[in-house]
């Protein structure tokens, strides 16, 4: 039994160290098996009477590696502390499963922190902007505005239906979207 624990600890530890080193080098950072197929279902609250969905969501290369490592290490520790083999196996299995569960939950929590960083032009509606390049009156042509959206300063082509031109430096409000990089503004 001691050899089985040693092999599990050695194999799991080796893969764990390799994953860590590859992560530091920028490789292998997002290569786990992903069970989220783009659906927005909240599996934490809708178990549908089966624990299989919860457990299947935890099975990734990282969690299996952590479980294998902790299974081996805790089993070897239990054997060396004088416990019987069956008790050592139970302790090792409990520690391995706990490692799978904890690492799986940590990975899910980290995954929720991801952001694509794309600025959404529709979030500019209602925001104040500053005219960067004068905007001609009555939709006669485009000007430019700068607006802070999602904590980033963006520059957009701007139009206005106002009967007077909007000079450079004036403060305006975005009232509509005219295209992927164009907005409609009005004077404040």
H/E run at residue 169: none
Where the chain has pLDDT below 70, the residues are: 28-57
21 beta partners: none
Residues 13 and 73 in one domain: yes
**CA distance linking residue 95 with residue 138, whole number of Å:** 71
Number of domains in the chain: 2
Residues 79 and 43 in one domain: yes
Which pLDDT score, from 0 to 100, does residue 32 have? 45
Instruction: Tell me if 133 sits within 8 A of 167, measured CB to CB.
Output: no
- What angle in degrees, to the nearest 10, is found between the helix axes of 61-80 and 2-24? 140
**Cα 108 from chain centroid?**
9
Residues 128 and 173 in one domain: yes
Among 86, 112, 138, give the residue marking a domain's end. Answer: 112
**CA distance linking residue 69 with residue 98, whole number of Å:** 12
Q: Is the pTM of this model over 0.85?
A: no
Which pLDDT score, from 0 to 100, does residue 24 have? 86
Residues 108 and 126 in one domain: no
Among 85, 112, 139, give the residue marking a domain's end. Answer: 112
Which pLDDT score, from 0 to 100, does residue 125 have? 94
Strand 152-160 and strand 128-133: the pairing is unpaired
Residues 10 and 39 in one domain: yes
Among 77, 112, 147, give the residue marking a domain's end. Answer: 112
DSSP codes of every residue in 80-92: HTT--HHHHHHHH
**CA distance linking residue 98 with residue 68, whole number of Å:** 11
CA angle (35 as vertex; 10, 119 as ends), nearest 5: 115
Whose structure tokens read 């600025």?
119
Residues 57 and 86 in one domain: yes
Residues 33 and 81 in one domain: yes
Residues 91 and 127 in one domain: no
Among 145, 141, 119, which residue's Cα sits nearest to residue 131?
Answer: 145
**CA distance linking residue 55 with residue 58, whole number of Å:** 5
Among 136, 142, 171, which residue's Cα sits nearest to residue 156?
Answer: 142
Which pLDDT score, from 0 to 100, does residue 19 have? 87
Which pLDDT score, from 0 to 100, does residue 45 have? 43
Residues 29 and 96 in one domain: yes
Which pLDDT score, from 0 to 100, does residue 87 have? 95
- For residue 157, what is the domain's CATH number? 2.40.50.140
Residues 64 and 97 in one domain: yes
Which pLDDT score, from 0 to 100, does residue 56 have? 66
Which residues form the domain of 182?
121-187
């Amino acid at each position: 039994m001691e050899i089985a624990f040693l092999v599990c600890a050695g194999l799991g530890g080796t893969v764990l160290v390799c994953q860590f080193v590859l992560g530091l080098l920028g490789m292998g950072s997002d290569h786990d098996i992903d069970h989220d197929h783009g659906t927005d279902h909240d599996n934490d609250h809708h178990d549908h009477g089966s624990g299989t969905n919860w457990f299947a969501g935890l099975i990734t290369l990282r969690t299996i590696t952590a479980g294998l490592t902790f299974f081996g290490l805790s089993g070897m520790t239990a054997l060396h502390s004088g416990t019987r083999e069956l008790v050592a196996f139970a302790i090792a299995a409990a520690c391995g499963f706990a490692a799978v569960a904890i690492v799986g939950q940590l990975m899910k929590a980290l995954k929720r922190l991801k952001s694509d960083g794309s600025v959404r032009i529709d979030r500019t509606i209602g925001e104040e902007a500053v005219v960067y390049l004068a905007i001609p009156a009555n939709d006669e042509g485009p000007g430019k505005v700068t607006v802070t959206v999602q904590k980033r300063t963006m520059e957009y082509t701007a139009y206005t239906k106002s009967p007077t031109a909007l000079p450079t430096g004036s403060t305006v409000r975005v009232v509509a979207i005219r295209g992927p990089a164009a907005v409609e503004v009005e004077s404040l």
